[in-house]
């Protein structure tokens, strides 16, 4: 009977951790989308809202970490349960940093003020869409304990890298042709860099899911997945 009660208590804590991880991911996805929308629409008020929500993301991250540590202390879980708790704790940290990237984009929008964009936004919104799709799919892998899906998601990081390199080349071309465009080009480059780093951190989430499910801890890359 005691074992049943202990298992039930652990399951309750694991569900609570999972729910807050999903809540954190939803916030990060929303923050990333809103930050890029603020850039597209030159909406400084929306950008400031994104920056203000960052504190709530931080609080939720610390809440998840505390829950994970308490679950370990109370239940002394082993094997898969312990791996899931440790993975969740690391995932919370990664997602808090992803929210920092969204706040960084919002900060760029505020710094730009009402200065016109250097060029129409094409590749940057695509980067944002892929990042958010990757994060959403990663949470599906997390819920389903699906390491195979996690490895598949990592492949999309290459799409974001390619778009980032395309943005970089185009912005360098502007700056070389007319050095006066450098400040506005740099703003967009910062935005693209934040999105590129967001995709990298989704890859880190996938690595933690693989660890939770299989016990294997290491870098995931498209090359590894294909072999």
138-165: pLDDT as tens digits = 999 999 999 999 999 999 999 999 999 9
Q: What is the dihedral of CA 94, 98, 99, 102, to 10 degrees?
A: 170
pLDDT, tens digit, 9 for 90 and up, residues 2-53: 556 577 888 899 999 999 999 999 999 999 999 999 999 999 999 999 999 9
pLDDT band at 225 (very low <50, low <70, confident <90, very high): very low
Tally of residues, the chain: 227
Give the span between the Cα atoms of 162 and 187, in whole angstroms. Answer: 19
Confidence (pLDDT) at 71? 95
Helices (H), the chain: 2-41, 44-75, 79-112, 123-144, 147-154, 157-177, 182-214, 222-226
pLDDT of residue 216: 85
- In this prediction, residue 221 has a pLDDT band, given cuts at 50, 70 and 90, of low
Q: What does the DSSP assignment read for 93-147?
A: HHHHHHHHHHHHHHHHHHHHTTPPPSS--SHHHHHHHHHHHHHHHHHHHHHHT-H
pLDDT band at 214 (very low <50, low <70, confident <90, very high): very high
- C-alpha 109/C-alpha 117 separation (Å) is 10
Res. 90 pLDDT band, cuts 50 70 90: very high
**pTM for the whole structure:** 0.92
pLDDT for position 224? 46
Give whole-number Cα distances, 171 to 79, 118, 125, 175, 183, in Å: 49, 9, 16, 6, 11
Q: Which domains does the chain have, with CATH numbers?
A: 2-226 (1.20.58.220)
Give the residue, 224 or 157, on which the prediction is more confident. 157
């Amino acid at each position: 009977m005691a074992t049943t009660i202990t298992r039930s208590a652990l399951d309750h804590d694991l569900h609570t951790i999972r729910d807050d991880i999903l809540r954190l991911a939803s916030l990060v996805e929303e923050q990333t989308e809103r930050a890029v929308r603020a850039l597209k629409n030159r909406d400084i008020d929306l950008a400031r809202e994104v920056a203000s929500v960052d504190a709530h993301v931080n609080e939720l991250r610390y809440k998840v970490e505390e829950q994970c540590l308490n679950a370990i202390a109370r239940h002394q879980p082993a094997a898969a349960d312990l791996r899931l708790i440790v993975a969740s704790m690391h995932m919370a940290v990664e997602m808090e940093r992803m929210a920092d990237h969204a706040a960084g984009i919002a900060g760029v929008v505020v710094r730009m003020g009402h200065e016109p964009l250097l060029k129409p936004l094409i590749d940057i919104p695509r980067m944002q869409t892929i990042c958010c799709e990757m994060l959403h799919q990663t949470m599906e892998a997390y819920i389903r304990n699906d390491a195979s899906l996690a490895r598949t998601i990592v492949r999309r990081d290459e799409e974001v890298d390619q778009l980032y390199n395309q943005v970089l080349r185009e912005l360098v071309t502007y700056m070389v042709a007319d050095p006066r465009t450098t400040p506005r080009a740099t703003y967009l480059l910062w935005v693209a860099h934040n999105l590129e780093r967001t995709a990298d951190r989704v890859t880190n989430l996938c690595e933690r899911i693989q660890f939770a499910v299989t016990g294997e801890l290491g870098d995931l890359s498209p090359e590894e997945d294909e072999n």
